[in-house]
């Protein structure tokens, strides 16, 4: 500010030496034929200065824009969840939803009785109860029955292939397919692979949540839209560092197409996710020999550049749940185009939840040799 005032008040007219030559001589100033040695020397010096400044700046920018080496790894299959035994190695969580959902998570027997988890030869289904209406006993006046399952096996790194045939959506729903160590959260991190709320019209959100020291304001190679860049759960009200996919990556438009494959590659170099529609699944995935290096740009890329992935993410289970209402849904309900209020819909309108189910084909876990 001060500098600007000083230069404005400076007399401009007579300060330049060329003023003494008058108008007739003006054109010669712009004609190189009349330039003196001094002028040529000035130009040469300017060019040298530009080179001296520009080269190191370019080099520094390349250095400050590093990217991890995602060298191809050789993956082999270590585990598959599929068929009628799909739910055999999972625990059913029955506590309160930590994000204040209006939901009652039921144990395995109750879930089977209500048919909220169901596994056949070809598919596993997890759903929200639609059998209980306002005049039933029990009713849903304190929350509706739903399920949350946690794999007993825990993982550190690997390539995870999820065959997702139907994603849950509908007013008041908050489904998620994620990896975390719930007993050591956030120390061991959280990797959200699929997540949406209400009608799921904002697409799929892929997000990391961590302790401090994990940031994504670095070079990334992804097709999704980066949201917050700080993954620290203590910042931005635990929004995490999210990446949003296109509208057809979750909900009705994803399901209409028969769903598709969600792939997660979790390794020290970084965490990347891809989504493939049913009619665009790479042959190496169907062939049981997946190789992410051949899949093109990821949907989301969380490189290790400013985040030590190896220490922020550990000992994680696969978790699949459908919460109803809850912090994020309450906050967005007014803008969601959904009727009434969230708890009223959950308590009194079982018909709203007919699309609130996951249908999954096999989940395969590959590990690098
Ligand atoms: C993967 O396997 C190929 C051939 O089987 C081998 O040449 C290559 O070095 C392996 N790569 C790694 C990272 O182990
Ligand atoms: C279930 O999913 C939601 C959405 O990701 C998550 O915020 C919540 O903490 C999960 N867990 C439980 C117990 O509901
Ligand atoms: C349980 O749910 C599955 C999947 O939605 C369905 O195919 C099956 O018919 C249901 N079983 C009963 C007894 O309702
Ligand atoms: C819902 O169930 C509770 C007990 O679980 C009962 O006290 C209440 O009257 C019921 N509500 C209706 C509308 O039936
Ligand atoms: C790993 O996770 C399991 C299950 O969630 C938990 O019981 C265990 O304490 C964790 N172990 C470590 C070393 O964090
Ligand atoms: C939600 O809607 C119901 C039915 O219209 C109403 O009785 C209830 O007071 C509302 N609750 C809130 C928190 O607005």
In the set 82, 84, 190, 351, the catalytic residue is 190
Task: For residues 163-192, give the mean pLDDT.
Answer: 98
Question: pLDDT-based confidence at 14, cuts 50/70/90?
Answer: very low
Q: Please, where are the H alpha helices in the chain?
A: 2-8, 26-30, 37-63, 108-113, 252-256, 283-286, 309-312, 327-333, 342-348
Q: Ligand 3 mean position to 281 CA, how many Å?
A: 28
Q: Ligand 5 mean position to 155 CA, how many Å?
A: 10
Q: Ligand 5 mean position to 290 CA, how many Å?
A: 28
CA distance 201 to 154: 32
Average pLDDT, the chain: 89
3-state secondary structure of 118: strand
Task: For residues 108-134, give the mean pLDDT.
Answer: 97
Report pLDDT digits (tens) over 29-76. 556 566 666 766 776 767 666 666 665 555 555 556 899 999 999 999
Q: Ligand 3 mean position to 166 CA, how many Å?
A: 15
| Neighbouring residues of 187: CB distance < 8 A, sequence distance ≥ 6 | 181, 211
Report pLDDT digits (tens) over 215-272. 999 999 999 999 999 999 999 999 999 999 999 999 999 999 899 999 999 999 999 9
Determine if ligand 4 sits within 6 Å of the CB of residue 134.
Answer: yes
φ, ψ (nearest 5 deg) of residue 129: -65, 135
DSSP string, 163-220: EEEE---STTEEEEEEEE-GGGTTTT-EEEEEE--TT-TT--EEEEEBSSSEE--S--
Tell me which residue of 90, 308, 261 sits closest to 159, measured CA to CA: 261
More confidently predicted of 51 and 155: 155
Atom of ligand 3 nearest to the CA of 127: 5
Q: Ligand 1 mean position to 260 CA, how many Å?
A: 29
Residue 17 reports pLDDT greater than 60: no
pLDDT at 63: 58
CA distance 347 to 357: 18
pLDDT at 52: 65
Share of residues in the chain with pLDDT > 90 (%): 80
pLDDT at 166: 98
Report pLDDT digits (tens) over 270-297. 999 999 999 999 999 999 999 999 999 9
Pocket-testing residue among 104, 137, 346, ligand 4, by greatest number of atoms within 8 A of Cβ = 137
pLDDT at 65: 87
pLDDT at 61: 54
CA distances from 200 to 22, 130, 209, 286 (A): 72, 19, 21, 28
Atom of ligand 2 nearest to the CA of 174: 4
- Predicted TM-score of the model (pTM): 0.85
Strands 103-105 and 144-146, how do they pair? parallel
Strands 75-81 and 117-119, how do they pair? unpaired
Atom of ligand 3 nearest to the CA of 125: 4
More confidently predicted of 53 and 86: 86
Pocket-testing residue among 99, 144, 146, 330, ligand 2, by greatest number of atoms within 8 A of Cβ = 99
pLDDT at 40: 63
Q: Ligand 2 mean position to 146 CA, how many Å?
A: 12
Residue 98 reports pLDDT greater than 90: no
Q: Ligand 5 mean position to 345 CA, how many Å?
A: 37
190 belongs to the catalytic site: yes
For the record, the structure tokens of 233 come out as 């759960």
157 belongs to the catalytic site: no
Question: pLDDT-based confidence at 21, cuts 50/70/90?
Answer: very low
Question: pLDDT-based confidence at 369, cuts 50/70/90?
Answer: confident
Closest ligand (CA of 151)? 5
Pocket-testing residue among 344, 345, 347, 348, ligand 6, by greatest number of atoms within 8 A of Cβ = 344
Report pLDDT digits (tens) over 295-334. 999 999 999 999 999 999 999 999 999 999 999 999 999 9
Closest ligand (CA of 101)? 2
CA distance 210 to 313: 8
φ, ψ (nearest 5 deg) of residue 178: -150, 170
Closest ligand (CA of 91)? 5
For the record, the structure tokens of 144 come out as 């509706």
Rg (CA), the chain: 29
CA distance 329 to 143: 14
pLDDT at 368: 97
CA distance 335 to 45: 61
CA distance 20 to 179: 77
Determine if ligand 3 sits within 6 Å of the CB of residue 257.
Answer: no
Long-range contacts made by residues 94-100, C-beta under 8 angstroms, separation at least 24? Answer: 97/148, 97/323, 97/326, 99/174, 99/323, 99/326, 99/327, 99/328, 100/325, 100/326, 100/327, 100/330
Pocket-testing residue among 95, 185, 190, 315, ligand 5, by greatest number of atoms within 8 A of Cβ = 315
For the record, the structure tokens of 197 come out as 């709320």
pLDDT at 53: 64
């Amino acid at each position: 500010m001060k500098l600007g005032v000083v230069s404005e008040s400076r007399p401009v007219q007579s300060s330049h030496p060329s003023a003494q030559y008058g108008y007739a001589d003006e054109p010669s100033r712009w004609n190189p034929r009349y330039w003196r040695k001094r002028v040529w020397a000035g130009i040469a010096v300017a060019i040298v200065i530009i080179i001296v400044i520009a080269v190191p700046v370019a080099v520094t920018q390349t250095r400050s824009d590093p990217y991890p080496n995602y060298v191809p790894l050789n993956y082999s299959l270590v585990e598959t969840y599929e068929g009628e035994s799909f739910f055999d190695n999972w625990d059913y969580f029955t506590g309160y939803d930590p994000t204040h959902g209006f939901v009652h998570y039921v144990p395995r027997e109750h879930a089977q009785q209500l048919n909220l988890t169901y596994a056949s030869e070809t598919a596993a289904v997890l759903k929200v109860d639609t059998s209980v209406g306002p005049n039933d006993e029990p009713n849903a006046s304190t929350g509706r029955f739903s399920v949350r399952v946690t794999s007993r096996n825990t993982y550190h790194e690997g390539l995870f292939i999820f065959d997702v045939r139907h994603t849950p959506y509908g007013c008041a729903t908050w489904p998620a397919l994620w990896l975390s160590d719930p007993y050591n959260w956030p120390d061991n991190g959280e990797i959200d692979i699929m997540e949406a709320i209400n009608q799921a019209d904002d697409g799929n959100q892929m997000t990391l949540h961590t302790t401090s020291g994990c940031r994504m304001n670095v070079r990334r190679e992804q097709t999704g839209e980066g949201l917050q860049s700080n993954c620290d759960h203590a910042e931005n009200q635990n929004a995490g560092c999210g990446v949003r996919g296109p509208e057809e990556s979750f909900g009705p438009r994803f399901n209409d197409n028969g769903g598709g494959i969600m792939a997660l590659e979790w390794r020290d170099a970084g965490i990347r996710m891809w989504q493939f529609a049913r009619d665009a699944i790479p042959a190496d995935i169907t062939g049981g020999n997946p190789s992410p290096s051949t899949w093109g740009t990821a949907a989301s890329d969380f490189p290790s550049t400013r985040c030590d992935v190896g220490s922020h993410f550990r000992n994680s289970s696969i978790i699949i749940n459908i919460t109803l209402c809850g912090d994020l849904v309450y906050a967005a309900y007014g803008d969601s185009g959904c009727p009434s209020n969230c708890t009223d819909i959950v308590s009194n309108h079982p018909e709203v939840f007919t699309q609130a189910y996951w249908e999954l084909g096999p989940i395969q876990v590959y590990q690098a040799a």
